[in-house]
Amino acid sequence: MDRVSDVFDRLVGQDHAVEALRQYALSPVHAYLFTGPLGTSVHDALVCFAAALQCHDHGCGECATCRRVLREQDADVHVAERSGLTWRVDELRELERVARRRPLGDGYQIILIDDVELTVSGPSPSAAALLKSLEEPPERTIYLLGASEVPAALATIASRCVEVKLRALDAPALATILSAEGVEAELAASAASAAGGNLRRARVLARDPALGSRVAAWRAIPDRLKGTPASSSEVAREVVASLDDAVAPLSALQDDEWTRRVDEAREFGQRVLGGRREMDARFKREQRRFRVDETRFGLSALTDVYRARLVESLEAERAGDARARARVASALGALDALAEANARLASNLDESLLLHDLMLRLAEL
Ligand SMILES: [Zn+2]
């Protein structure tokens, strides 16, 4: 069947989910939970589906309604913003109040909440408040929830929703998307392979001329600590500085987005919803996550180097090289230290501290 393009064409690599979403848009229920590994752009998928729900043609992608929703400027599509690392109870209560409003247009009142796994963590989990809102929503209200994972504590909430599963994007799929967006093929391939399945990160890396040299710097760390001994704190300081450099292309991308948003709003004679300050807070959180992703990427490049050393030393040991045993032990120690650093990174630790500790341990092996 030939189809004209529509709003779902934006969800490259998610054919399975898109097929279901086209059906759901025809007769929606009151709550959907979109899940997908980090960086599968769960948020984009939620916004596209919101457009399909509001549009008279179920997501043509062209009409004023579609365009307004895609710009996140539709008065009846409320994109929830959280102020901290987790969702707070009062933030969810406020959303419930919004959910009870009658839509201004003839569509739905849509409440879009990202990262709902963050309602079950933190000092005062807010999942109960969210669950309560899902129990008896007003007739014309639809909740669109997004999560990168569904921990057991989220099971009750999940059971109140139709689940939409997004797939992790592999490097070739990411490269295809980047190429379609006009990125030159070789750059698209290298950015895609360094992005860890994360589309947003791939887009930033594709704008980053220093990507290659950063990878080389991470891979050179073992030699710098051993071959030509630099102090571990000197190496750590350089790595931390390279994280700052890595965030620069993201900041540039964010500035472009802000400018585009203002221009589009002007074109439609609208005020930009959500002020610059809220946008800055969102951008800061994204930069914070980007630093963590970049650190994780660097640790994996470093892990590759030590893994190669381990294989090499094991072969030498097998061939009777008496000094190889010590090299095997040191490579294993390095891999342990890296695995530990990776685990600590997940617990929201300051990267600078983590990297200083790690370099010290690697230097002593
Ligand atoms: Zn439309």
Encode pLDDT of 230-240 as tens digits.
Answer: 788 999 999 99
In the numeric block, which tokens belong to residue 112?
A: 């879009």
The percentage of residues in the chain with a pLDDT greater than 70, rounded to a whole number, is 94
Q: Ligand 1 centre and the CA of 53: distance in Å? A: 9
Residue 128 CB contacts under 8 Å (≥ 6 apart), including other chains: none
Q: What is the mean pLDDT of the chain?
A: 88
Q: Which ranges of the chain would DSSP assign to H, the alpha helix?
A: 15-24, 42-54, 64-70, 89-99, 127-135, 155-159, 171-180, 185-193, 199-205, 211-219, 221-225, 232-267, 276-318, 324-345, 351-364
CATH 3.40.50.300-classified regions of the chain: 7-168
pLDDT of residue 229: 65
Give the strands of the sheet with 77-79, arranged side by side. 77-79, 109-113, 141-147, 31-35, 162-165
Q: Ligand 1 centre and the CA of 180: distance in Å? A: 23
Residue 344 has pLDDT above 90, yes or no: no
CA nearest to 274, candidates 111, 75, 61: 75
Q: Ligand 1 centre and the CA of 6: distance in Å? A: 8
Q: Which ranges of 79-126 would DSSP assign to H, the alpha helix?
A: 89-99
Least confident segment among 38-42, 104-108, 315-319: 38-42
Averaged over 248-258, what is the pLDDT? 88
Residue 1 has pLDDT above 50, yes or no: no
Q: How far apart are CA 20 and CA 22, in angstroms?
A: 6
Residue 190 CB contacts under 8 Å (≥ 6 apart), including other chains: 205, 211, 212
pLDDT of residue 2: 42
Q: Ligand 1 centre and the CA of 4: distance in Å? A: 12
Least confident segment among 174-178, 253-257, 322-326: 253-257
Q: Ligand 1 centre and the CA of 64: distance in Å? A: 7
pLDDT of residue 292: 84
Q: Ligand 1 centre and the CA of 253: distance in Å? A: 27
Q: How far apart are CA 244 and CA 232, in angstroms?
A: 19
Which CATH number describes the domain made up of 7-168? 3.40.50.300
Residue with tokens 């990174």: 345
SS3 37: coil
Q: Ligand 1 centre and the CA of 8: distance in Å? A: 11
Task: Give 252 or 52, the one with higher predicted confidence.
Answer: 52
pLDDT of residue 271: 63
